[in-house]
Amino acid sequence: MWRSIPKCLINNIIFRNRVQRLPAGQNSLCRPKQEVSLQIYRPHTPTAFKISMPISVIEKVEAFDKQRCITVHWDDGNHSQYPYVWLRDNCQCPQCFLSSAKARKLPIEDLDVNISVEKVISTDSKISVVWPDQHISEFDSNWLKTRSFAQTTRKERQQKLFLTDRQNWGSELQIPTASFEEVLDNDEVAYQWLKTLRRIGVMLLKNAPAEKGQVAKLGERIGYLRLTFYGLTWQVEDKAGANNVAYTSGKLSLHTDYPALHRPPGIQLLHCIKPAEIGGETQIVDGFHVANQLRQLNPDAFRILTSIFVDFTDSGVDYCDFSLQSKHRIIDLDHNGKVVQINFNNATRDSIFDVPVELVHPFFSALKDYMNLMYKPENLITFKMEAGDVLTFDNWRILHGRQNYISTVGSSRHLEGAYASWDEAMSRLRCLEQALYGNK
């Protein structure tokens, strides 16, 4: 949609660092030719902002050639800086931006990183930037405010985008539950499911039909499942000639699934179709919480587990034949030193260990300290899944295990499992939030 700027809205004109406040009634734009033909594209404004963003009112704008920045002064007394190059890069006009795809058309080759500004015109709800080649970019005030480069805004925005705030827990946790049916049928419940999965790391879905095909439905709810060499869904049973220790009746010590992949699955879904009569209890622990305990109690062990790369291996035949090799630090940190991923399955840790020999013993000692902390009663939850339970959890954070069970001919324990990815789950979460609440 094209429209010209209503004159009554033009309250400021800026010429190269000079702000000119126009007296009421005066509507002289400094380039008269431009004035008549000043057709400005109204940038695509996501519905989200239309619905619930408070209106950000612009008081005035200033352009600083030296810093190559435009400063927007808001009516609440705050101000925000926007670099020229960023503004040019994010021009929302149809030449520069494909609004149907919400994607940039402007190639980086065409971006002049040293671009200057000829003038800036502001109304209370938008700014228009005229570039030296007479190209005009218009930016909505709410759009600009959301994209503020201020540190606090950036932090809040990243937290909202990626839901990085986690809630630590120990054995006191009442595992959050929801109805399996409702997750499938009710958007609000589905939204709560994914939010809980992110914040707490685990949710138990109750009363699913005790037959195969249920984890596939959860996959559809998200979008799609993650295919691995064990198949799109897989059957956890006591199998003859098992190609994985999970497919026996033995105890599984606390582990994350599939560190043999360099990108282990973010989310695991485990549906109990038939519990064992005796044994087979599930154990779960908050791996982030325990890693942070280790950081405090045993900084040396923490340093070893966050720095040494451990080899993992997995080979065999299932979906097709496979021969995986990977390397992981047991505890992954982000650039701020925050724990963001645990990678550990003792079953698939390779006997090949690519470290200097003097690091071998310290590594095992550190690993043992971490595991001992996990098994402490205040950290570990043990419970038995019932038929129809679907345990869903963050496989980058939660370590899980099971007690051994007695395998009985004909009526044996049976779980069906599947993996999903965090990108897709977060995408579903954002879409649900948008549909339900218009993205506050």
Ligand X SMILES: C[N+](C)(C)CCCC(=O)O
Residue ranges binding ligand X (CB under 6 A): 230, 234, 236, 244, 246, 257-258, 314, 345, 348, 417
The reply on whether position 429 binds Zn ion by CB under 5 A is no
Nearest approach, Cβ of 131 to Zn ion (angstroms)?
9
Residue with tokens 């009363």: 207
Nearer to Zn ion, 106 or 340 (CB): 106
Residues 52-91, mask of contacts with Zn ion (x by CB under 5 A): ---------------------------------------x
Nearest approach, Cβ of 282 to ligand AKG (angstroms)?
5
Nearer to ligand AKG, 137 or 417 (CB): 417
Nearest approach, Cβ of 261 to ligand AKG (angstroms)?
13
Alpha-carbon radius of gyration of the chain:
28
Candidates 33, 38, 134, 44; CA nearest to 93 is 44
The reply on whether position 249 binds ligand AKG by CB under 6 A is no
- Contacts with ligand AKG in 381-410 (CB under 6 A)? 400, 402
Residue 91 binding target from Zn ion, ligand X, Fe ion, none, CB below 5 to 8 Å by type? Zn ion
In this structure, are residues 61 and 69 in contact, taking their beta carbons and an 8 Å threshold?
no
Nearest approach, Cβ of 401 to ligand AKG (angstroms)?
7
The reply on whether position 414 binds ligand AKG by CB under 6 A is no
Q: How many residues bind ligand AKG (CB under 6 A)?
A: 9
- Contacts with Fe ion in 239-268 (CB under 5 A)? 257
The reply on whether position 287 binds ligand AKG by CB under 6 A is no
The reply on whether position 236 binds ligand AKG by CB under 6 A is yes
According to DSSP, the β-strands at 69-74 and 79-83 are antiparallel
Nearest approach, Cβ of 227 to ligand X (angstroms)?
11
Residue 348 binding target from ligand AKG, ligand X, Zn ion, none, CB below 5 to 8 Å by type? ligand X
H-assigned helices in 63-186: 84-89, 141-146, 151-162, 180-185
Candidates 10, 12, 8, 28; CA nearest to 20 is 12
Residue choice 13, 70, 203, 246 for contact with ligand AKG (CB under 6 A):
246
Both tokens of 321, joined, read 């034949």
The reply on whether position 115 binds ligand AKG by CB under 6 A is no
Residue choice 142, 282, 343, 379 for contact with ligand AKG (CB under 6 A):
282
What CA–CA distance (Å, rounded) separates 365 from 148?
Answer: 47
Residue 236 binding target from Zn ion, ligand AKG, Fe ion, none, CB below 5 to 8 Å by type? ligand AKG
The reply on whether position 226 binds ligand AKG by CB under 6 A is no
Nearest approach, Cβ of 418 to Fe ion (angstroms)?
12
What CA–CA distance (Å, rounded) separates 368 from 76?
Answer: 55
The reply on whether position 276 binds ligand AKG by CB under 6 A is no
Nearest approach, Cβ of 225 to ligand X (angstroms)?
12
Identify the burial level of 330 via C-beta atoms within 10 angstroms of its C-beta, where 0-12 means exposed, 13-18 middle and 19 or more buried. Answer: buried
In this structure, are residues 255 and 345 in contact, taking their beta carbons and an 8 Å threshold?
yes
- CA end-to-end span of the chain: 26
Half-sphere exposure of 203 (CA within 13 A, CB side): 20
DSSP string, 271-316: EEEE--SSB--EEEEEHHHHHHHHHHH-HHHHHHHTT--EEEEEEE
Residue 407 binding target from Fe ion, ligand X, ligand AKG, none, CB below 5 to 8 Å by type? none
In this structure, are residues 121 and 130 in contact, taking their beta carbons and an 8 Å threshold?
yes
The reply on whether position 257 binds ligand AKG by CB under 6 A is yes
Residue choice 91, 415, 420, 429 for contact with ligand AKG (CB under 6 A):
415
Both tokens of 162, joined, read 């990626």
Nearer to Fe ion, 257 or 433 (CB): 257
Candidates 90, 87, 138; CA nearest to 116 is 87
What CA–CA distance (Å, rounded) separates 55 from 350?
Answer: 57
Nearer to Fe ion, 257 or 389 (CB): 257
Helix and strand numbers (H, E) in the chain are: 12, 26
What CA–CA distance (Å, rounded) separates 293 from 299?
Answer: 9
Interface residues with Fe ion (CB under 5 A) are: 257
Interface residues with ligand AKG (CB under 6 A) are: 236, 246, 252, 257, 282, 400, 402, 415, 417
Interface residues with Zn ion (CB under 5 A) are: 91, 93, 95-96
